[in-house]
Amino acid sequence: MKDMMPNFNLVQPADLASAVSALSDAGEGGWAMAGGQDSLDWFKDRVKRPSTVVDLSGVAELSGITETADGGVEIGAMTTLTDVENNAVIQEKFGVLAMAAGRVASPQIRNVGTLGGNISQDARCWYYRAGLDCYRAGGNTCYADTPEGMNREHCLFGASRCVAVTPSDTAVAVATLEAEMVIVGPGGERTVAAADYFIGPDVDIERMTVLEPGDVLTKIRIPGKWAGAQFFFEKVADRNTWDFPLVNMAGAMKVTDGMIEDISLTCGGVECVPRKLSVVEDIVRGSAANEETANLAATSAARGASPLNYNHFKIPLMENLVKKAIRG
């Protein structure tokens, strides 16, 4: 029955140790809930049926934004998207993250949704979300990758049975900023680079991140490397509000006397993980930040793409966003 959540045990810990313990005890049946904007949809549609839901909203140490000694910032995973968007330090030093957070869904959702939850959310494939037995759900079919499949929103790169994409706006921003993800689990604390936090279907088709049962993403640590750089973020979607990206792009660029000293570009909506545009970066690094460089870089942006039946339009979208990012 749709819109009727199945029974589960609700645990509301007041500290991180209790949260990790509860999730560890629940094992595969545990579910860590951040803002709940995505979780509650899964439960109401009865697609996900956890035995234990651990509500992290009462763990105060998971929220807040603090500056670090290296000129970076440390953001608690439970910090709301509204707080990230409006924080003066993030706006001044790491504007690309503020811009990305401000493009998520609607103001009402951003007031409740969290940075950690948005980064870690599950795939947005119609078939998977409908509860069909696709590869990602443990079955043996990809319904999107068929002649009749609805795959307009799906991937250009990295398909391995599953062709779903990362739906997050903030994930591309933290990847561009070369953030570190701090995770606490039964084995203690570990730090994972943003580039390694997201995993594709060729690694584990049933997960989007490296989080294991019992793990909690506690902080997003952004180093000072890109502080004050020239930033770019754009999201192309069917609607400006309350919609997921068809393609989005985050960029950070250091320019001196018209020359690009360094650049970091990440694209979303085209692969299961945020796609780092390393080839584009190599082409433009050390070149003039002008139209010629932008056009040259754009031709390499979609190199190796394998479009599906209905998503060829994503290739020129990628190319044009690369041009805009380099033009500034």
- Residue 4, pLDDT score: 82
Residues of the chain falling short of pLDDT 70:
1-3
Helix, strand or coil, per DSSP, at residue 264: strand
Q: How many CA atoms, within 13 angstroms, populate the side-chain half-sphere of residue 50?
A: 24
d(CA 19, CA 23): 6
- Residue 129, pLDDT score: 93
Residue ranges and CATH numbers for the domains of the chain are 1-59 (3.30.43.10), 60-120+165-225 (3.30.465.10), 229-327 (3.30.390.50)
Taking CA 89 as the corner, what is the angle to CA 87 and CA 92, rounded to the nearest 5 degrees? 105
Summarised one tens digit per residue, pLDDT across range 75-85 is 999 999 999 99
- Residue 240, pLDDT score: 87
- Residue 2, pLDDT score: 65
Summarised one tens digit per residue, pLDDT across range 189-243 is 999 999 999 999 999 999 999 999 999 999 999 999 999 999 999 999 999 888 9
Its pTM stands at: 0.97
- Residue 328, pLDDT score: 82
- Residue 1, pLDDT score: 58
- Residue 112, pLDDT score: 97
- Paired tokens of 47: 């697609």
